[in-house]
Amino acid sequence: MITMKTFFITLCTWLIAFGSACTSQNTNKYVIKTNMGSMTLLLYEDTPKHTSNFIKLVKEDYYDGLLFHRVIKDFMIQTGDPESKNASPDQQLGSGGPGYTIEAEIKPHHYHKKGAIAAARQSDNVNPEKRSSGSQFYIVHGKKLSEKQLTTDFNKLSNYFKQYINEEGNQSLKNQVISLQRNRQFDQLEQLIFQYKDTLAAYYDIAFARQYPVERLEDYTTKGGAPHLDDQYTVFGEIIDGFDVLDKIAQIETNQLNRPVKDIVITDIKPAN
């Protein structure tokens, strides 16, 4: 009896004989080596423009020596600015690139779960087509969210909350909000807004529920992510190993520009073995 392994080897031999090669399972797997450890990436096949561009830059050693120049805990770590190579400690980074952008390849089944790799880009007001940077990308660190958070239209809730705190008799609540904003306690402010969800629903006779893709709920509630970026940026891969390194980098001390005080350097990126 021919086993599946024997069949696969025979098939490969047959294909090679006719000038074809079997696709290795590691074709789109790459290892990012940094001075804080290594992470293994899987690049998606259905974002061919981004994947082929990334592979091209890797072959050119483009990323070697570049910094993770922007790091925000519970959000993401970003790299790919060529100006970050040998940058002075006070140098502002984030605007460099290879001189071209890439057409957006935004797919509904690729979303910003923890470990997702996505292309950075300029904002919509100057980039309505959502074209990606030619080299800069970020890896999502993110945070876990509750099902209540994910199935609530938070923008709508926030707008009605802003209206509510300006109603007569709500000055003390408004002062509390101002204090939280002044002290940059945004997580606490978000929690406060959610506390008023039922109150606002009754007061304005309005619902704040929204449909949310079931396949994303488990990832965002158990692993975490940055769902507010979904469908806005091209996600073209994900981390499959080295989450501990991602966590270490995301928690490093940064300055006011979110640049790490200690340089996080990419030593090289190579295909996985």
Same-domain pairing of 267 and 178: no
What is the number of other CB atoms lying within 10 angstroms of the CB of residue 242? 21
43 and 95 within one domain: yes
**What range defines the domain where residue 159 resides?**
152-204
Assess whether 78 and 182 both reside in one domain: no
Domain total for the chain?
2
Q: Are residues 163 and 182 in the same domain?
A: yes
pLDDT tens for 177-189 read 999 999 888 889 9
The closest alpha carbon to 197, from 144, 166, 159, 143, belongs to: 159
Is-above-0.85 flag for pTM?
no
Task: Report whether pLDDT(25) > 70.
Answer: no
pLDDT at 147: 92
Same structural domain, 68 and 121: yes
Same domain? 138 vs 197: no
186 lies in some domain = yes
SS3 of residue 70 by DSSP: strand
pLDDT for residue 68 is more than 50: yes
Give the tens place of pLDDT for each residue, 76-109.
Answer: 999 999 999 999 998 999 999 999 999 999 999 9
- Sign of the Cα pseudo-torsion (157, 158, 163, 164, in order): positive
Given a cut of 60, whether residue 6 has pLDDT beyond it is no
Q: For residue 158, tell me if it sits in a domain.
A: yes
Position 52 in a domain: yes
Query: What are the helix (H) ranges across the chain?
Result: 4-17, 48-59, 147-150, 154-165, 171-182, 186-195, 197-204, 214-222, 243-250
Q: What is the DSSP string of 146-166?
A: -HHHHTB-HHHHHHHHHHHHT
Say yes or no: 179 and 200 in one domain. Answer: yes
Are residues 54 and 106 both part of a single domain? yes
Residue type, 193: I
- Position 5 scores a pLDDT of 43
The 10s digit of each residue's pLDDT in 190-215 is: 899 999 999 999 999 999 998 898 88
159, 103: one domain = no
User: Same domain for 163 and 257?
Assistant: no
* Residue 74: inside a domain: yes
Q: If DSSP codes are grouped into helix, strand and coil, which group holds residue 116?
A: strand
pLDDT at 27: 75
Average pLDDT of the segment spanning 106-119: 97
